[in-house]
Amino acid sequence: MKKLFDILTRNGQGFALGLGVLVILIILIQVFTGISGNGFELGTDLNGVLKNNANLPVGEQQEFAFFDGVTIFPIVLVVLILAIIVVFAVVALIRNPKKNGIIIACVAVALAIMNFARGAVTAPAEGSSLALTLQKFDVAEGASQWISVGIMATIILIAVSVVAMVLLEIYNAFK
C-alpha cells in the first residue's frame, strides 16, 4: 500500500483532475448530442416531456438513454478504484506476508463471521410482514439473504469491537 500511496502523492491530484475533466466532457458530449439527436433543443423542458410520457402508450414514449452516462461513469470509476486498491493490497501482502499477517487474519475472521451469519439466516415466514415487503419491492430471495447476512455480520463485528475495547481498556488500566 505504501507504493500506491507514493504514486498518489506524486501524481494523484493531477490524475484525478484530468480524469474528472475527461468524464465531465464525455458526459456533456453524450448529453448534448443525445438531446439534439432526439429532436430537442437545449432549452426544452425535459421534465414536462417526462410528465407527458406517463400519459402516452409504451411505444410512443420518448427515451432518455443519453443520460445513462451520468450514472454509468461513476459506477465504473468506483469499481476501477476498488480494483486498484485490491491489486495493490494483494501485491503488498505477497511482498511482505509477515508484516501484513494481521490483515490476512482479519480477512479470515470477517469471512468466517460472514459464513456463520449466512448459515444463521432463514427465509421469512410465508405471509409475514417481511415476506410481503419483499414481494412488494420484488426482492429476490438470494438478495434478501445477503442483505440479512450483511446486517447480522455488522452487528456481530460491532459487538466484537465493543468487547475488545472494554477488555483492552481493563488491560491497560492494570498495566
Q: What is the pLDDT of residue 1?
A: 55
Q: Which of 2-6, 119-123, 127-131 has the lowest mean pLDDT?
A: 2-6
Q: Is the pTM of this model over 0.75?
A: no
Average pLDDT, the chain: 80
pLDDT band for position 53 (cuts 50, 70, 90): low
Cα atoms in the 13 Å half-sphere on the side-chain side of 37? 11
Residue closest to 27 by CA, chosen among 65, 69, 63: 69
Residues 148 and 121 sit within 8 Å (Cβ to Cβ): yes
In this structure, which amino acid lies at residue 123? A
pLDDT band for position 4 (cuts 50, 70, 90): low
The three-class DSSP label of residue 24 is: helix
Distance between CA 146 and CA 120 in Å, rounded?
Answer: 12
Residues 67 and 47 sit within 8 Å (Cβ to Cβ): no
Give per-residue pLDDT as tens, 76-92. 888 988 898 888 878 88
Q: What is the pLDDT of residue 56?
A: 66
Indicate whether 22 pLDDT > 90. Answer: no
Give per-residue pLDDT as tens, 99-117. 777 777 888 888 888 888 8
